[in-house]
Structure 1
Amino acid sequence: MTSTRVLPKRLTCVNRTETLERLERQALSTEGLLLAIVGPQGVGKTTLGVELAHRVKHDYDVCLHYPVYASMPGRAVTAGRIAEFFLRRLGLPEQEIPADEMERFLVLGELLDDRRVLVVLDDVRDAPQIGPLLEHVPADTVILTSRNRMPSLDSSLFETLELGMFDEHSAGLLVREIIRDRPAVDEDLVRRLHRWSGGLPLALSLVAGRLRHPDVTPADLELLLVDPPEKDVAGARAVESMFETLDVESARDCATLALIPGSHFDPAAAAAALGVDQAAARAVLRTLRDANLLLPPDDNRFRFHDMIRRFAVDRALALLTGDEREAVIRRVVEHRWRYLVALDKSISDRPAPVPAGAWYSSIDRAFTGPDAARDAFGEFDREWRNLLATADEARKLPRIEISRLFPLGLWFFAFQTARHDEIIDAYDAVLAVAEDPLLRWQLLRDKAASCLGLRQDALVDECIREAAALNYRPGMQSLYDWYGNALEARGDYAGALLQFERSRAAIGDIDQTQQERASALLDMHIGRVLAKQHRAREAEPLLRRAYEFFAGRASESVNQARSGAWLGTVVANPDDARTRLSEALSVFLEFGMVAQAQETCQWLADVAASAGREDEAERYRQQVQDLAARLHRPRRN
C-alpha cells in the first residue's frame, strides 16, 4: 500500500492560535492525539479540525477523512460503511472488500498496521456510531467533530474541545482574513458585525464573503446592520447578503431547489425541480456552488446549509407564484415516485402493488446484475428520508394519483429493515381518504404486515378482517400468509400452519407468474415453523427447496438469506450450518436488517459453542449485544 494523504480543502481559520499550536505539538508526538471537537452549528468545528489535520499530515503515512454528516436528516452512516470507504480509498479492489463489517475492520487494520495513521471524522452523531471503527482500526491521531458532547469518549483518552463564539477581536481577524485583498475594515464595522452575528463564525464568514465581492463596499452593508438581529437570525441576514450577488434567474433557481423535499438532492432531482435536463441542472448547481450557496457535493448529492435553505424557501414565496411552487413539487414527486418504483423492483421480485401495477410494469429496475439488491438497498437507505419527505409533500397536492400510491413503494424496504413505525402514519393518512376497493385492500394488507412488525396484534387482526371483507379473491392467498405469520409470532404454531395450508390452496387464484414464488415463500414459512417446533427432518427439505429457488434470483437476496439462515439451524452438519448462517449474516448486516442479524449471531454463537470454539462463540455473543443496542436506539431524523 502506498502512502495516502487525502484531506478536504483548508478553510479560513483564524484565532484559536494557542490551542492549535498545543494540539499540533501533541499530534506530532509519538503518542499522537485523540480529539473530539464539539460545539453548536456554525461555530467552526470542521474548520479547526481540517486545519489541524493539514498542519500535521506531513508526519503521517496515511491520512483518511470521512464526512459522516450525522446531523443531516436521514443520514445513517455506520462504522462499517466508513471502513468500506477507507478500504476503497486505500486502493483495495471492490471484490476484495468484505461484506461483513467485522471483517472490514480486520482487513483495514491489517492494511494500516505499522503505519502512522491520521483519521478525521466530521460531524459524528455519538460515540457508538463510530466506536467499532475506533476499537479495531489502529490510528495514532483521531480528530472527531460533533454537535454533541460524547462523554463515553472521555474514558477512552479522548480530549474534548468545546468551541464557543468569537469575541470582537477574533471576529475582526476572520473578516479581515476573508477580505484581505480589499481596503481595511474599520473597527466600528467590525464591532457592529460582531454584535450583529452574535460572534457566530459561520455568519461572519458569510457576510464577509458578501463584502469581498468587487462591486460591494462596507458602506453597502449599512442598511443591513442598522438594527442588529437576534443572535439566532444573524446567519439569515448573512445569507440575505449573499443572495444579493445572484442575478434574478440564479436566485429563482436557488429558491426552486430549496423546495425539494428532504435533506439533499442529486442532479436528476434538481433537473426535475427546475424543469430542465441534467446538463442544464449541473450548470445551475455549479453556479450556486461557486457562490457558496450549496455545500460541497457528497456522493454526487448536494445540500444547502440549514440557514441558507430556510432563507431560500422564504425567498421562493416572493420569487415564485403559488402555481409555480406547486409545479416544482409535482415534478419532484413524480421523479422520486418513478425512482422509488425502480428501487423497489430492484430489491425483490414481489408482486407489484395492485393499484400501482401500470407504473411498475412501465418502469425499469434501478439496478440489475448479481449485486442489484445490495446496491438498491444501499440507495434506499441513502434516500429514505428524502422519500418519506416527498410522500408527505405529495399528500398536500390536490388531484394527484401518486400521493395515494407513494406509501406502497416504501413498504417492502421498510418491512425488511424494521422501519414499520416510520410508514404507519403515511398509510393511515391515505386510508382516511381512499375509496377505491383495490387501493384500500393493498393499504390494509401492507399495514397489517407493518403492525405485525410492531407487535400490535389487535391492529393486525383488524386490518386483515377489513381487507378480507373487500372480497378481493386474488388477495386472499396473501392475507392467509400474513395471518399465518401473525399467529406464528404469537406462538400459535398450529394455527400458523393451518393458515399456510389455506394459503397454498389459494395459490391458483393469483397471477400465474407469481405462483412459483408464492410456493417458495410458503416452503420457507412452513419450514421455519417446523424448525421452531424442533421438527428438523420435516423442515429441512422445505427450507432447502425455498433456498434453491431464491438463490437463483439476484433480486431475492433477502429471502435467500432468510431461508438460508433457517436452513442453517436444521442441517445436521455443523460446518454446513456455520457456512449458511455466516452467509445470511453478511446479507442482513449489509442490508441493515438488524433484528435478523442479531438472531443469526446468536445461532452462530450456539454453533461455535457446540463445536468447542468458545472464543468465536463469545465474539458472536458480543455482536448480539451490540446489535441489540443498535436495534433499540432510535433512528435520527
Structure 2
Amino acid sequence: MSGTSGRRDTFGAELRRLRLAAGLSLSALAERVHYSKGYLSKVETGATAPNMSLALLCDAEFGTAGALAELVPASTRRQQVPRPPAPSLPAPPPVTAHFTGREREFEEIRTVLLDDTPAAPPVCVLSGMAGVGKTTLAARIAHRLEARFSDGCLFLDLRGHTPDATEVSAAEALDRCLRALGMPGEEIPRDTDDRAGVYRNRLRGRRFLIVLDNVRSARQVLPLLPAEPNCRVLVTSRNRLHALDDAHHVLLDTMPEADAAALFRRIAGTALPPAGADQHTDRLLTRIGDRCGRLPLAVRIAAARYRGHAGWTPDELVTRLADEQARLDLLDDGERSVTAAFRLSYHDLPEQQRHMFTVLALHPGQDIDLRAACALADTDLPAAERALIGLQDANLLIQRAPRRYQFHDLLRAFATHGAVDAVPQAGRRAAVSRLIDFALAGAERASILLAPHRSRPALHLGRLPLEPTPLPDIDAALAWFTAEWPNLVALCRLAAEQGPRQRCWQLAFSLRDFFFLTKLRQPWIETHALAVAAAKEAGDTRARAGSLNNLGVPYLELGDLDSAAACYQEALGLFHELGDGLGISSALANHAWVTHHRGEHQAAVRDLRHALEFYERQGLPRNAAITLRGIALIEAESGALDDAVPHALAALRSCQELGLDLDAAMTLNCLGLAYYRSGRWDQAARAYQQARTLGAGVGSLHETARAETGLGNLAAARGDRAAAQWHWARAGEHYPELSTLRVAEARDRLAEQARTSSAGAGQP
C-alpha cells in the first residue's frame, strides 16, 4: 500500500473499510482498542491524524500485519511511535489476530492494573484451567497497557506448566530481570534473597508493568514482586495462588457460547459462510464450540484442523467430535494438544489429589457431592475435602455449588480415557460398588421420608466409609433428591450395564416416589425400563413384576394407555405366578385406571373394590386410603356424586390420620371436584383452597396447579372471568401441562372457557 495513491489508501479510509468488512460499529471498535468513538470518527473522516499506537492496535485487531501502521503519515510517525523497550527487556509475545471476546475480564484487569489509589492491589492473578487462554489474554493486556507504564513492560514465561521444559526458578527469573534492567551479570548476587533486594531497589521510582506468565506456585513469584507502588504485576497460573493474598484474583472461565462459535469462525475463515448467512451452519458452530468445551485451545485446534481439510463440512466435524476418545485425538494438531496440556496438570498433582481426580472419573453423573467423593475414594471427610479443594485450586475441578464438584467436559474425557487406567480393575470395581451402595443408602433414606408407609424390600449394603447426608425432614429429602436425581439415574444405568444388577432395580424403586411427586416421567420410564430388563436378566421375577407395576404409572400419566396396560398385565401375570396377593391387588388397582380412561367406569370401580377388600383384610391402611380415593375420583368423574363425596371424606380422614400429606392434597382435590360437579361451590372452594395449601407444603406443583385450576373453574362458573383467568394463570405458573386425560379439572376448564367465551360473544 502507498499513502499517496488515492482516497482508499489513506489511513482513515482503510480503517473504515476494514471496520465495515468486519461488521463492527464505531462503538464496538472503540471498546476493542480503547480509543473514544469520537476520536475514531475523526480519524476515519480525516479530521484528525492517526497516531502509531492506534495503528498498531488496529493492525492487531484486524490481522493486517502492519499495513495500517504503514499508512500513518511520516510527520506523525516519528513523533508518536511508542518508545521501544530496552533491547534486553523481555517483551510480550505477539497478539493473535483471532483474539475473541474476554471484554469483561480485560476491563476488570485493566481497571486493577491502572488503579493508582493507595489502596489499589499491586498484583492481579489471572488463573484458569489449561487451554483457557490465560497467556493470550495477558499478552493482549500487556500490549494494550504498555504505553501507560513509562518504563515499559517486562514479560517473563516462568514455564510452570510447559511440557518438556524446566520450571524457571525465582533465582533464575531474578537474574533475567536484573540483566534486563541493565545490571552487569558479574554484579548480580548469588543468593536469591540478595537478588530480590537488588531487584526491588532497581525498580524504585520506576513504573513497569511486570507480567509473570505460566506460574506454578506463589513461592515461585514472591521474590519477583516489587515494593515500588508505581509498578504493577500480572500473574497467570493454572493454580489459584491463594497465598498471594494481597492480590486481586480473576478466574478465567471457558468462553461464552457465542464467543466460542465466533472464534471458530475467525480461524476457519473463508471455509465458512459469513455469520448469519446460514442458520444451520451457525447452529453447528455452536455445537462444535460446546463439544470443544468452549475451551479456546480446543476451539483453535478444531478450527485449524477444519480449515486444513477441504473435504470436511461442519456436520462432519460435529460427528467426529461426538465420541469422547475421538474428540481428544482430534484436538491434537501435532504441535498443540489438549490432552498434553491436561496430562501435565495431572502429573503435577500430589498423590492424594491425583487419586481423587482419577476415581472421580468413575462417577457417571454430571457432578458429585463431598460425601459421594468420600465413598468413591474410600476416605474420610476432611481428607476428601482437602483433595477436592486442591483440585479446584488447580482448576481441574469446578465448584458450582457448596460441596458439589464437577469436571469440565474435556477434563472428564481426559480423566475417563487417560487417567483412570492408573487404578487397577479390581480397585475400580470396588470404588463403583461403594459409590452405588452409598447412593442407594441415601436415596432410600430420602424416599422413606417422602413415603413412610410404603412397603419396601430389605437392602443389604456393603461397608461404607461414612453415613449418607443427614436428612431431618421431608424438605431436606426433597432438596437432596432435587440435587441428586440425575446422578441416581446415571448410577442406575451403570448398575444395569456393569452390575450388580439388583442395585439397578433398587435404585429405580427408591426414585419412584420422588418422580411421582415431581412428575419427572421420562427419567422414571428410563430407570424402570432398565430395572425390568436387569431383573429379567438376573431371573428375579419379584423385582421384575414390581418394576413393571411401577413402570406403568408414568405411561398412564402421559396418556399412553396401551403401554401402561401392557406393563400392568405382565406384572399381574408374574404376581399370579408368585402367589403374591399384595402384588396382584396393586397391579389390579393400577390397571383399573386404564380401564377407567377407556370409558369402562363400572369395571374400573369393581377392580378397585377387589383391591380395597384385600388391603382392609391385610390391615394396610395406606393402600386402602389411596384405593378409596381412586373409587371416589372415578365416581366424581362419572357422575356418581352421592357416593363420591362420602368416599372422598373417608379417604381424607385416613390420609390425615396416617400423616400422608401428599395423598391428603390429592384427596382434597378429588373432594373439590365432587363438590364442584354437584353444585356445592362453597364447599368445593374450601376443599380446593386446602388442597392448594397442602400441595404447596409438600412441594407438589402438580396438585397445586390442579387446585388452582379447580378454583378458576369455580370462579368461571360464578361468572367472575377475571378471577378465573387469575387462578388459571397461577396454575400455568405451577404446572402448565395438566393432562386433560388424567385431570378432570383440566377438562372442566376447557368447558368453562368455551361456555364463558360463547356467553361473552352473545353480549351486545
Give the TM-score, by structure 2 length.
0.52
Task: Please report how far the alpha carbon of residue 517 of structure 1 lies from its aligned counterpart in structure 2 after TM superposition.
Answer: 1.2
Higher RCO (C-alpha under 8 Å, 6+ residues apart) = 1
Contact between 2:106 and 2:141, CA under 8 Å: does it hold in 1? Answer: no
The answer to whether the aligner puts 1:465 opposite 2:465 as a matched pair is no
Q: Paired residue for 1:561?
A: 665
- Please give the alpha-carbon distance, in whole angstroms, between the structure 2 residues aligned to 1:46 and 1:299: 28
Letter in 1 for 2:428: R
Q: Go from structure 1 to structure 2 and tell me whether the alpha carbon gap of 1:309 and 1:497 turns closer, same or farther (over 3 Å shift).
A: same
Q: Go from structure 1 to structure 2 and tell me whether the alpha carbon gap of 1:20 and 1:238 turns closer, same or farther (over 3 Å shift).
A: farther
The answer to whether the aligner puts 1:535 opposite 2:506 as a matched pair is no
Q: Paired residue for 2:246?
A: none
Alignment of 1:132-531 (within 5 A): 170=137, 172-173=139-140, 184-185=155-156, 229-230=301-302, 233=331, 236-354=339-457, 356=458, 372-399=473-500, 401-424=502-525, 425-470=529-574, 471=576, 472-507=580-615, 510=618, 512=619, 515-531=620-636
- Please give the alpha-carbon distance, in whole angstroms, between the structure 1 residues aligned to 2:725 and 2:687: 19
Q: Go from structure 1 to structure 2 and tell me whether the alpha carbon gap of 1:542 and 1:439 turns closer, same or farther (over 3 Å shift).
A: same
Task: Please report how far the alpha carbon of residue 559 of structure 1 lies from its aligned counterpart in structure 2 after TM superposition.
Answer: 0.9
The answer to whether the aligner puts 1:18 opposite 2:31 as a matched pair is yes
- Please give the alpha-carbon distance, in whole angstroms, between the structure 2 residues aligned to 1:583 and 1:20: 62
- Please give the alpha-carbon distance, in whole angstroms, between the structure 2 residues aligned to 1:301 and 1:489: 44
Letter in 1 for 2:728: R
Unaligned 5+ segments in structure 2 are 1-27, 36-98, 113-131, 164-211, 225-234, 239-296, 304-326, 332-336, 740-764
Give a deviation string over 1:468-510, Cα, whole Å, max 9, x none: 2232223222122101122223332212111111112222564
Percent same amino acid among aligned pairs?
A: 20
- Please give the alpha-carbon distance, in whole angstroms, between the structure 2 residues aligned to 1:485 and 1:504: 14
Q: Go from structure 1 to structure 2 and tell me whether the alpha carbon gap of 1:351 and 1:175 turns closer, same or farther (over 3 Å shift).
A: farther
Give a deviation string over 1:384-408, Cα, whole Å, max 9, x none: 1010011111223345532342222
Contact between 1:608 and 1:616, CA under 8 Å: does it hold in 2? Answer: yes
- Please give the alpha-carbon distance, in whole angstroms, between the structure 2 residues aligned to 1:210 and 1:338: 43
- Please give the alpha-carbon distance, in whole angstroms, between the structure 2 residues aligned to 1:418 and 1:321: 41
Contact between 1:391 and 1:407, CA under 8 Å: does it hold in 2? Answer: yes
Aligned-partner SS, 1:302: strand
Aligned-partner SS, 1:296: strand
Task: Please report how far the alpha carbon of residue 272 of structure 1 lies from its aligned counterpart in structure 2 after TM superposition.
Answer: 0.2
- Please give the alpha-carbon distance, in whole angstroms, between the structure 1 residues aligned to 2:374 and 2:670: 46
Letter in 2 for 1:548: R
Alignment of 1:550-629 (within 5 A): 550-554=655-659, 556-571=660-675, 574-585=681-692, 588=695, 593=700, 595-626=702-733
Aligned-partner SS, 1:469: helix
Task: Please report how far the alpha carbon of residue 610 of structure 1 lies from its aligned counterpart in structure 2 after TM superposition.
Answer: 3.5
Letter in 1 for 2:448: K
Q: Go from structure 1 to structure 2 and tell me whether the alpha carbon gap of 1:551 and 1:621 turns closer, same or farther (over 3 Å shift).
A: same
- Please give the alpha-carbon distance, in whole angstroms, between the structure 2 residues aligned to 1:310 and 1:579: 56
Give a deviation string over 1:377-430, Cα, whole Å, max 9, x none: 232122110100111112233455323422222222223333333233323432
- Please give the alpha-carbon distance, in whole angstroms, between the structure 1 residues aligned to 2:467 and 2:351: 38
Contact between 1:265 and 1:302, CA under 8 Å: does it hold in 2? Answer: yes
- Please give the alpha-carbon distance, in whole angstroms, between the structure 2 residues aligned to 1:595 and 1:629: 9
Give a deviation string over 1:517-544, Cα, whole Å, max 9, x none: 1221122111111111233332222212
Letter in 2 for 1:619: W
- Please give the alpha-carbon distance, in whole angstroms, between the structure 2 residues aligned to 1:387 and 1:250: 25
- Please give the alpha-carbon distance, in whole angstroms, between the structure 1 residues aligned to 2:106 and 2:722: 39
Q: Go from structure 1 to structure 2 and tell me whether the alpha carbon gap of 1:437 and 1:548 turns closer, same or farther (over 3 Å shift).
A: same
Letter in 2 for 1:405: Q
Give a deviation string over 1:20-50, Cα, whole Å, max 9, x none: 999xxxxxxxxxxxxxxxxxxx987896599
Contact between 2:156 and 2:213, CA under 8 Å: does it hold in 1? Answer: no
Q: Go from structure 1 to structure 2 and tell me whether the alpha carbon gap of 1:313 and 1:560 turns closer, same or farther (over 3 Å shift).
A: same
Q: Go from structure 1 to structure 2 and tell me whether the alpha carbon gap of 1:622 and 1:508 turns closer, same or farther (over 3 Å shift).
A: closer
Letter in 2 for 1:173: R
- Please give the alpha-carbon distance, in whole angstroms, between the structure 2 residues aligned to 1:447 and 1:541: 31
- Please give the alpha-carbon distance, in whole angstroms, between the structure 1 residues aligned to 2:103 and 2:396: 17
- Please give the alpha-carbon distance, in whole angstroms, between the structure 1 residues aligned to 2:107 and 2:629: 52
- Please give the alpha-carbon distance, in whole angstroms, between the structure 1 residues aligned to 2:689 and 2:405: 37
Q: Go from structure 1 to structure 2 and tell me whether the alpha carbon gap of 1:331 and 1:21 turns closer, same or farther (over 3 Å shift).
A: farther
Q: Go from structure 1 to structure 2 and tell me whether the alpha carbon gap of 1:552 and 1:507 turns closer, same or farther (over 3 Å shift).
A: closer
Contact between 1:480 and 1:499, CA under 8 Å: does it hold in 2? Answer: yes
Contact between 2:446 and 2:481, CA under 8 Å: does it hold in 1? Answer: yes
Q: Go from structure 1 to structure 2 and tell me whether the alpha carbon gap of 1:265 and 1:521 turns closer, same or farther (over 3 Å shift).
A: same
Aligned-partner SS, 1:184: strand
Name which one, 1 or 2, has greater alpha-carbon Rg.
Answer: 2
Contact between 1:540 and 1:570, CA under 8 Å: does it hold in 2? Answer: yes
Q: Identify which range, 398-407 or 531-540, moves more after superposition.
A: 398-407
Contact between 1:273 and 1:331, CA under 8 Å: does it hold in 2? Answer: yes
Contact between 1:239 and 1:307, CA under 8 Å: does it hold in 2? Answer: no
- Please give the alpha-carbon distance, in whole angstroms, between the structure 1 residues aligned to 2:390 and 2:142: 24
Contact between 1:343 and 1:367, CA under 8 Å: does it hold in 2? Answer: no
Q: Go from structure 1 to structure 2 and tell me whether the alpha carbon gap of 1:174 and 1:575 turns closer, same or farther (over 3 Å shift).
A: farther
Aligned-partner SS, 1:280: helix
Contact between 1:464 and 1:483, CA under 8 Å: does it hold in 2? Answer: yes
Task: Please report how far the alpha carbon of residue 305 of structure 1 lies from its aligned counterpart in structure 2 after TM superposition.
Answer: 2.4
Q: Go from structure 1 to structure 2 and tell me whether the alpha carbon gap of 1:357 and 1:506 turns closer, same or farther (over 3 Å shift).
A: farther
Aligned-partner SS, 1:604: helix
Q: Go from structure 1 to structure 2 and tell me whether the alpha carbon gap of 1:576 and 1:631 turns closer, same or farther (over 3 Å shift).
A: closer
Task: Please report how far the alpha carbon of residue 337 of structure 1 lies from its aligned counterpart in structure 2 after TM superposition.
Answer: 0.8
Letter in 1 for 2:478: F
Q: Go from structure 1 to structure 2 and tell me whether the alpha carbon gap of 1:45 and 1:273 turns closer, same or farther (over 3 Å shift).
A: farther
Q: How large is the Cα RMSD of the aligned pairs?
A: 4.5
Give a deviation string over 1:137-196, Cα, whole Å, max 9, x none: xxxxxxxxxxxxxxxxxxxxxxxxxxxx9899746236999xx9x96147xx9xx9xxxx
Q: Go from structure 1 to structure 2 and tell me whether the alpha carbon gap of 1:453 and 1:257 turns closer, same or farther (over 3 Å shift).
A: same
Aligned-partner SS, 2:692: helix
Give the TM-score, by structure 1 length.
0.61
- Please give the alpha-carbon distance, in whole angstroms, between the structure 1 residues aligned to 2:680 and 2:106: 53
Letter in 2 for 1:599: R
- Please give the alpha-carbon distance, in whole angstroms, between the structure 2 residues aligned to 1:243 and 1:358: 37
Q: Go from structure 1 to structure 2 and tell me whether the alpha carbon gap of 1:176 and 1:430 turns closer, same or farther (over 3 Å shift).
A: farther
Contact between 2:612 and 2:628, CA under 8 Å: does it hold in 1? Answer: no
Contact between 2:531 and 2:547, CA under 8 Å: does it hold in 1? Answer: yes
Aligned-partner SS, 1:560: helix
Unaligned 5+ segments in structure 1 are 1-14, 23-41, 56-164, 193-206, 633-637
- Please give the alpha-carbon distance, in whole angstroms, between the structure 1 residues aligned to 2:431 and 2:375: 8
